[in-house]
């Protein structure tokens, strides 16, 4: 899930019992300009945007046999390049054909693909024939079940290893009932494993997960929102309270130096109704990672790990002089999903999403970042700040 499915939450889900975890959808155009960097300080593999130094995708050994990289694409050639970049570090490669968001549809990605079986075939066959790991894809329902089954058969014929089906159409919202019957028909019709998705509204315990699998006749179940609220949903022994889940999650954030904005966002998502409690309010008001970790009594652990990273980075810089001119990797990684998590670009406009309450560090102000981006893209630098309901955009027009 976008912004949720970063490394700490994926590891948490695995530790609680998930068999497979997916990355958030990462768009091909963004991923293709990353460079694979072994981060010996954190024990991770980082895929770093060569343009701005941000970590686009971070993974590690613990998840390498279970993590599926999910891409957003509409381009059969570009997507193979992306798959080649990550295939040695992940267990599977998934194409998202379900995303109904405007940026996906406009880019011909996500649910826009559901109506383009030829494009789907091109994308999936070129992936299957060019990479060594399993290729999967995730779809939504088309308005008509026959059409959906045709598409599913087309997808199967491309040689994919499995297909995830979200039992809603592109127009349906999460509050609409999930069409378990349609998933059942598809599961019955195909010979490859079908992964049922869309059941979170009815999933509040591990038993409900099993019930959803039975209701859909699927081989397995993909859980999004229920795992976002309480990732211990994967525990066969039963869920844990958030008092246990959140500190467990935060420890992973500390160990993998997760970027503050992402950590805060994920914990806010977990707290949901509790956002109004004193603890929730403290979280909302927090402007640094120290403040978050303090709320859950993890400040000392955080400081100790930071010191350890600092020590290691000093040590490694001596042995790895190529890192010398850059900031230490653990600092560089801090830009993950801050400025450039939401860059939208076309020939005329560069939009950079800026978080509402980012504690802007040092001299790096959003406008500086955009100016740099604009000059590299040879744009004239006319910069406007646009605010929409939830987001602030910096927009650069030629
Ligand atoms: C905040 C949010 C982010 C999401 N991001 C993704 C994504 O990156 N890739 C994807 O395939 N689906 C994404 N989804 C859709 C979910 O994977 C899933 O299809 C949907 O929520 C229905 O499943 P559920 O009932 O288990 O939540 C997202 C959903 C939400 C609410
Ligand atoms: C997580 O699970 C616990 C234990 O069942 C429950 O008390 C809590 O409400 C759940 N949290 C959310 C946000 O669903
Ligand atoms: C970091 O290095 C300093 C100086 O060598 C040392 O005193 C300290 O114990 C180290 N800290 C950690 C957490 O390894």
Give the containing element (helix H, strand E) for 70: strand 67-72
Per-residue pLDDT, 304: 97
Ligand 1 contacts CB of residue 199 (under 6 A): yes
The minimum-distance atom of ligand 2 relative to the CA of 270 is: 13
Cβ atoms of residues 120 and 157 within 8 Å:
no
- Find out whether the beta carbon of 200 lies less than 6 Å from any atom of ligand 1: yes
Question: Which atom of ligand 3 is nearest to 310's Cα?
Answer: 1
Whole-angstrom distance, CA of residue 238 vs CA of residue 254 = 26
Assigned token pair, 363: 């001299």
Ligand with smallest separation from the Cα of 202: 1
Distance 7 CA to ligand 3 centre (A): 26
Task: Give the list of residues 6+ apart from residue 287 with CB closer than 8 angstroms, or none.
Answer: 357, 359
Q: What is the pLDDT of residue 48?
A: 87
Residues 136 and 392: their CA atoms lie apart, in Å, by 35
In a 3-state reduction of DSSP, which class is residue 212?
helix
Residue 248 near residue 263, CB atoms below 8 Å: no
Q: Which ligand 3 atom sits closest to the C-alpha of 304?
A: 13
What's residue 54's pLDDT?
80
DSSP letters, 302-368, are HHHHHHHHHHHHHHHHHH-GGGTTSPPHHHHGGGTTSSGGGEEE-SS-EEEEE-TT----TT--HHH
Catalytic residues: 99
Q: Separation of 391 CA from ligand 2 center, angstroms? A: 29
Q: Report the alpha-carbon distance of residue 270 to residue 256 in Å, rounded.
A: 19
pLDDT in single tens digits along all 398 residues of the chain = 999 999 999 999 999 999 999 999 999 999 999 999 898 989 999 998 887 778 899 999 999 999 999 999 999 999 999 999 999 999 999 999 999 999 999 999 999 999 999 999 999 999 999 999 999 999 999 999 999 999 999 999 999 999 999 999 999 999 999 999 999 999 999 999 999 999 999 999 999 999 999 999 999 999 999 999 999 999 999 999 999 999 999 999 999 999 899 999 999 999 988 888 999 999 999 999 999 999 999 999 999 999 998 888 888 863 322 222 233 333 333 333 333 333 445 555 655 555 444 444 444 555 665 666 666 555 555 566 554 433 445 565 55
Alpha carbon nearest to ligand 2 atom 13, residue: 229
| Longest CA pairwise span in the chain (Å) | 63
Strand-pair category, 220-222 with 194-197: parallel
Asked whether the beta carbons of 101 and 151 are under 8 A apart, the reply is no
Q: Identify the nearest ligand to the CA of 222 by its number.
A: 1
What value, to the nearest 5°, has the Cα angle with vertex 179 and ends 200 and 240? 15
Residue 178 alpha carbon, nearest atom of ligand 1: 25
Helix, strand, coil share of the chain (percent; to 5): 50, 20, 35
Collapsed DSSP state (helix, strand, coil) of residue 296: coil
Report residue 162: phi and psi, to 5°: -165, 165
Domains of the chain in start order, with CATH, are 7-234 (3.20.20.70), 242-316 (no CATH), 333-393 (no CATH)
Among residues 162, 181, 171, 180, the alpha carbon closest in space to that of 142 is found at: 171
Ligand 2, CB cutoff 6 Å, lining residues: 229-230, 239, 241-242, 272
Token pair for 40: 């010996």
β-bridge partners, 271: none
> CA-to-CA distance for 148 and 43, rounded, in angstroms?
43
- Cα 123 from Cα 193, distance rounded (Å): 20
How is residue 188 written in tokens?
A: 């019955």
What pLDDT score was predicted for residue 174? 92
Partner residues linked to 7 by β-bridges: none
**152-172 CB burial, b ≥16 within 10 A, e <16:** beebbebebebbbbbbbbbeb
Question: What residue's CA is closest to ligand 3, atom 12?
Answer: 308
Closest CA to ligand 3's atom 2: 311
The predicted structure's pLDDT at residue 84: 98
Q: Count other C-beta atoms under 10 Å from residue 50's C-beta.
A: 8
Expressed in angstroms and rounded, the spacing between residue 311 Cα and the centre of ligand 3 is 6
pTM, 2 dp? 0.83
Buried b (16+ CB within 10 A) or exposed e, 294-308: ebbebbebbeebeee
**Three-state DSSP state, 100:** coil
Tell me the CA–centroid distance for residue 209 and ligand 2, in Å.
15
Handedness of CA 256, 257, 258, 264 (dihedral sign): positive
Q: Tell me, what's the pLDDT at 210?
A: 97
Probe target for ligand 3 pocket from 301, 308, 311, with the most ligand atoms within 8 Å of CB: 311
C-alpha 168/C-alpha 235 separation (Å) is 26
250-to-108, 149, 157, 316 alpha-carbon distances in Å: 36, 42, 43, 26
């Amino acid at each position: 899930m976008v912004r949720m499915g970063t490394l700490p939450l994926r590891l948490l889900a695995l530790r609680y019992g998930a068999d497979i975890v997916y990355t958030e959808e990462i768009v091909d155009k963004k991923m293709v300009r990353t460079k694979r960097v072994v981060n010996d300080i954190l024990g991770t593999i980082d895929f770093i945007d060569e343009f701005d130094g941000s970590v686009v995708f971070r993974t590690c050994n613990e998840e390498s046999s279970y993590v599926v990289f999910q891409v957003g694409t509409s381009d059969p050639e570009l997507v193979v390049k992306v798959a080649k970049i990550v295939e040695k570090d992940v267990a599977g490669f998934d194409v998202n054909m379900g995303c109904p968001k405007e940026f996906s549809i406009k880019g011909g990605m996500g649910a826009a693909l559901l109506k383009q079986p030829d494009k789907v075939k091109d994308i999936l066959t070129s992936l299957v024939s060019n990479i060594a790991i399993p290729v999967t894809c995730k779809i939504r329902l088309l308005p008509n079940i026959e059409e959906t089954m045709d598409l599913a058969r087309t997808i199967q014929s491309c040689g994919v290893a499995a297909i995830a089906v979200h039992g809603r159409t592109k127009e349906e919202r999460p509050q609409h009932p999930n069409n378990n019957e349609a998933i059942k028909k598809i599961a019955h019709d195909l010979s490859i494993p079908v992964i049922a998705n869309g059941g979170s509204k009815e999933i509040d315990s591990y038993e409900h997960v099993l019930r959803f699998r039975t209701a859909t006749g699927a081989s397995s179940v993909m859980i999004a929102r229920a795992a976002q609220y309480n990732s211990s949903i994967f525990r066969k022994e039963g869920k844990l309270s958030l008092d246990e889940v959140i500190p467990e999650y935060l420890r992973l954030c500390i160990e993998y130096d997760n970027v503050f904005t992402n950590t805060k966002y994920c914990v806010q998502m977990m707290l949901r109704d509790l956002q109004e409690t004193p603890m929730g309010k403290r979280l909302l008001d927090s402007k640094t990672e120290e403040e978050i970790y303090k709320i859950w009594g993890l400040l000392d652990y955080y400081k100790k790990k930071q010191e350890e990273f600092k020590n290691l980075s000093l040590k490694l810089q001596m042995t790895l002089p190529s890192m010398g001119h850059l900031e230490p990797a653990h600092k560089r990684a801090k830009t993950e999903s801050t400025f450039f998590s939401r860059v939208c670009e076309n020939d005329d406009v560069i939009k950079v999403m800026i978080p509402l309450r980012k504690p802007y560090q040092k001299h790096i102000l959003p406008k500086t970042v955009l100016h740099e981006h604009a000059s590299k893209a040879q744009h004239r630098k006319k910069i406007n700040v646009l605010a929409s309901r939830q987001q602030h955009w910096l927009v650069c027009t030629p």
